[in-house]
Structure 1
Amino acid sequence: MGDNRKGGFRGGRGGFGGFRSSGPREMHKATCADCGQETEVPFQPSGDRPVYCRECYQNHRPKRY
């Protein structure tokens, strides 16, 4: 697929199609659902989906073809 988006967990784009330029992103503490390590993520975990640290996320993200 020709997906050229840059960014982290959710594509890195704001709600209006542009990149956020409001300064440093607010990070939220979370516990990895796989290894139990404390990590920080750029979104407020809601509790209804698992949160992974950077290393474990690499094992769970969808494969690109």
Structure 2
Amino acid sequence: MNRDVKQYEPIPETLNIQTSYRFQINDYISITPELLVITNPEHDCNHDTLYIGTIRATFMF
């Protein structure tokens, strides 16, 4: 009879948080800054949290 019991090790969850807001400059141009935060990338708590920022410009004509 085998009495080896494996301990349950929870897998760290990856959490993605994204936020953005569109600033309308005029009738033809808007700017959208965005921030993305990723915790435990690749479900590994040894990886640092990622902070990614972008700026998008939209030109309508």
Q: Compare CA radii of gyration and give the structure with the larger one.
A: 2
* TM-score category of the 2 structures, normalised to the smaller one: under 0.3
Task: Give the structure with the larger helix fraction.
Answer: 1
When normalised by structure 1's length, the TM-score is 0.19
Higher strand share: 2
